[in-house]
Every structure is written in C-alpha cells, then in structure tokens.
Amino acid sequence: MAVVSIRPATADDLPRLRTLPADCMPAAPVPSALLSQAVARGLVHVAEAEGALVGCVAAEAPSAGHVRLFAVAVRSGMRRQGIASRLLGAMLEGIPSSPTERPMISAAVGVTELEAGGFLLANGFIGTRMLTTGADAEPQIHYQYTLRGEYIDPDARHLVPVVALDQLVDSLSAPDQAVTALVTLAGEPAFEIARFERGDPASLQSGEAAAGIAFSGSLLAAITFILGFALTSSRFPDDVRLLLIGATSSTLLSLIIYASASGELARIRANSFGKIMKWGNVLSEYGGVLPFLICLPVTYAQVSGNPWTTMVLAVALGVAILGYERSEFSIARRFRHNRIEAALMVLTAASPAAGAAVVAAGTVTWPWTAALAATLAARTWLYLVRQGAEAGIAEHRRQWQIRA
C-alpha cells in the first residue's frame, strides 16, 4: 500500500488540482478561479502518494466568520482508506480563528448525494436545514460542523426516507432538529433526525463564571493559610514566602478577572467572555494552583524535619502533577503543544521533588524558587500571548451524546 502524505496545496499544484475534482466528482466540477483563490488563502489540502495527487479538500471563506467546503475528492482507487477524513481534519485544524470567535464550517450537499452526506455526518457534521436554489435544482441539505459536544433527546428521534422530500423539509423546519446519521430503512436509504437540547449560552457562561469565582475564592483561602504559616515560621525561606505571596496575588487577580467575566455577561456585552475566562483560567492554574501544590512538600519539610517522608510526598506529588497535566482536565490540554511547552511541563512536575530536596538538605533555596517562578511565568506567557483561544479536547471529542 502506498504511503499517503497530507499537506497544504501550493500554486504549483493547481494544474493537477483542476482535473482532480472533475475526475472524482463529475457532476460538480470546481471553477478554476475559485480553486486558485482557495489555494492562495491556504484553504486547500492535498493527499499525495508516490508523487501523484490522489485527493483534495477545498473550502472558501465568504466572510471572516464562515468557511464553506466546496470540494472533497479522492480518486476511486484510493477510497475507503480514511484519506478524505485525514484531509478534512488537516484543513479544519489549519483554519484560523480569533480569540473570541471560531468560524462556522459548513457544506451544502444535494439530498441524493448520499456518499458525500454520509462522509460529512461521519466526520462531525450535522444537517440543520434545507436549501433550495430554484424550481428545477435539486434541494440541498446544509451541513455544519459541530464545534462542541451537544446532547440529543433519546425519545425524540425518527427516520425519514431520502425520497420523502416533503417530510424531510418538515422535519428540518424545526430549529432544534437535525440530520445525525444516514441509515438503511427497508432496504432504502433514510436520514435519522434527532432533536437537540438547546441550551441558553448566557446561562451556561454565567454558570462557568460563577464556578471560576467559587474555585478562586476557595484556592485563595487555602493559599492564605499556608502563607500565614510561612510568615510566622522563622525557619521558612524568604524566597519561598515571596513565591506564596505571588501565588496569592495571582489568585486574587484571577478572582477579579472572573468577576469581570460576570460583568461582561450582565452589562458590558463586548463578546469577549472567552478571552476573559482564558486569562482567569491560566492565572489561577499557573499563578495559584501549581505554586500552592508545589509549596506543600516544602511546608511539610519545615514542619516534620523528616527527609524521607518529605521526599516520598514530593515525588508522589510530582507524579500526580504530571498525570494531571497530561489528562483532559488540565488547562494545558486546551492549547496546542510544542517541544518548549513539553519541557516546561516536565520542569513543573519535577519542582516539588527539587524544592523538598533543597529544604531537607538545608541549602540555599533561591535558585530553585527563581527557576520555578521563571517556568510558571513562561507557561503563563505562552498560553496568554502566544496561543489562541481555548479549545476542546479533540482526541476525546464526540459529535453528540444521548441524554440519559
């Protein structure tokens, strides 16, 4: 089997691209000007095997908030190998988005184009409405990519044969119903229509802001308690005290930012809730939670004076931090990863053991404190300045879930 590579298309690929969609989709040739414009904007990806183009996916961006697929093609001899899904995934990953808004990704496919419709349904799209372009033109289904997991009502699903066009139009006229699957009914193709639960975005965001405020408030109380112990202990290193003071300040700042998110919902309405919550989440994680956890074995070393139990606690805590950071629950998993970020993650996880060893040995602690502060500051800068908006967990993402 030939090795297939996926890459963005370049202007040199245009001569072969102009014939590829026609070879695979004879009923819908792609206009040459549209294809050239899509390549120039980076909205075309190609699949290449042994020097030959075997597939492509292309889209256009009619506005900053909307990307629309107009070609998904794989040569007949290379189909059923997952090439089209890889192409689509590569293109979706490369679509730029602003910190406050991710573009709508859609496609319009004829009702009887079952292969194309089934492909979209299997790759995160749902059919939300019917489109008619003329009396003689075949009606199309508007498919849109679901950016987040949603719930469907298990008792509100029904099947509509593809040939029952009037029933399909009636089913999709409701704003909360959508095509979720292509099935076989009595030997004929049919669409499965499901009713989605429609949550109120303002209520969901309000709940998220309230949870952030409650979390930061509780964290601030815990850090303040440890800081009070550090300030009253004559044996506690001054640089570690400064680290705890910084954690207190960062947590308090995140609490203020979460409160600002509530104000955004209530009266400001500048559509910047996601950006505000990103700042609050990152500051509370890398300025509050991690410094607090890492200082726990240092505090224990001061209280117990037992180096063995101190090191066991520190190593166990470091392993727990590393496991958490690699899990789907951590803030880090909401951003893209690179080698620098991975190295900083390892340094963060090793910090409890290093700090406990320094305190247990009775040596100077300021180099360790400076290294930890620099590591957490670098991670904060990477996520707040160099990274975009928070994203979902793609590898564990499902199109939707059935409400139990």
Dump pLDDT digits (tens) for 242-263: 888 999 999 999 988 888 877 7
Residue with token string 């620099």: 374
- CA dist., res. 102 & res. 38, Å (int): 19
The secondary structure element, H or E, covering residue 180 is strand 177-185
Residue partners of 37: CB distance under 8 A and separation at least 6: 60
pLDDT digit string, tens, across residues 267-293: 555 567 778 888 888 999 999 999 999
Residues 140, 111 contacting (CB under 8 angstroms): yes
Model confidence at 402: pLDDT above 60: no
* Cα gap 350→115, rounded to integer Å: 51
Mean pLDDT of the chain: 83
What is the fold, at CATH topology level, of the domain defined by 32-196? Aminopeptidase (3.40.630)
Q: Is residue 63 left, alpha or beta, with left meaning phi > 0 and alpha meaning psi from -120 to 50? A: beta
Chain centroid, CA 241 distance in Å: 36
pTM: 0.60
Strand, coil or helix: 335? coil
State the Cα–Cα distance between residues 125 and 399, nearest whole angstrom: 8
The angle, 0 to 180 degrees and rounded to 10, between the axes of the packed helices 290-304 and 201-232 is: 30
pLDDT tens-digit readout, 173-219 = 888 888 988 999 888 999 999 888 766 666 767 778 888 888 889 99
Instruction: Sketch the domain layout of the chain as residue ranges.
Output: 32-196, 201-390
Q: What whole-number distance in Å separates Cα of residue 95 and Cα of residue 97? A: 7
